[in-house]
Amino acid sequence: MVLLGPPGAGKGTQAQIIAGKLGVPAISTGDIFRANVSGQTELGQQAKTYMDAGDLVPDEITVAMVKDRLAEPDAKGGFLLDGFPRTIAQAEQLRSSLSELGQALDRVLELVVDEEELVRRLSGRRMLVDGQMVQRDDDKPETVRRRLHVYQEQTAPLSGFYEGEGLLARIDAIGEVEEVTARALRALGVADDERPGAD
């Protein structure tokens, strides 16, 4: 499945929880890029300029990276993609790579959050790195605005694309993490068996 939603919608958090429930790996292109940037790999060097500007890394680079990742053994029984696809071109290439593997997407879940809330969340967001709370370079206010603009222009059309394919479910992603997870699992038709009091 694919998790779709703007920067700050909580995709990373929900991706981990939902993938855990489904027993599939959560694959985040943002995390793979960040790991390559900090490891100073060639891929990281290619991606960094785009990421720092709040722009998308070119499709050729991103699609090749995702294809490699999906070919790994742990993705054979399914996977949850977080942050990919982000353009219609990426979605089309994903569809054809999966069909070559005899696979197809089952579901696309869109996390819906209004822009005011996104700006609030992103500008306040800090990550723990080496025991210190730091702001991600691309969470600076000007870059946040750019990322939201890029989302509207290039990624938001995927919602209609996947709706047309009959794969889309949309949920309100404002509220406590557990509440949003419960809505997500309901939309996916997955039993939420870890609720307190449930068998």
Interacting residue with ligand ADP among 7, 110, 168, 181 (CB under 6 A):
7
Structure tokens that stand for 190 in this block: 């997955």
* 125 assigned to active site: yes
To ligand ADP, the closest distance from the beta carbon of 196 in angstroms equals: 31
Strand bridging mode 168-172 / 127-129: unpaired
What lies within 8 Å, CB to CB, of 134 at 6+ separation is 126, 127, 128
Q: Binding mask 64-103 vs ligand ADP (x if CB under 6 A, - otherwise)?
A: -------------------xx-x---x-------------
Residue of 67, 107, 121, 136 marked catalytic: 136
Q: Is 50 a binder of ligand ADP (CB under 6 A)?
A: yes
To ligand ADP, the closest distance from the beta carbon of 131 in angstroms equals: 22
CA distance 171 to 185: 10
Structure tokens that stand for 173 in this block: 């992603």
**Measured CA angle at 81 (ends 76, 82), to 5 deg:** 155
Nearer to ligand ADP, 26 or 169 (CB): 26
Residue of 76, 120, 125, 186 marked catalytic: 125
Q: Binding mask 150-179 vs ligand ADP (x if CB under 6 A, - otherwise)?
A: ------------------------------
Structure tokens that stand for 194 in this block: 């870890």
Residues paired with 169 in a beta bridge:
109
To ligand ADP, the closest distance from the beta carbon of 21 in angstroms equals: 21
What lies within 8 Å, CB to CB, of 132 at 6+ separation is none
The whole-angstrom distance between residue 32's C-alpha and the CA centroid of its chain comes to 11
Task: Give the residue numbers marked as catalytic.
Answer: 11, 86, 125, 136, 147
Which residues are at the interface with ligand ADP (CB under 6 A)?
A: 7, 11, 29-30, 33, 50-51, 54-57, 62, 83-84, 86, 90, 138, 147
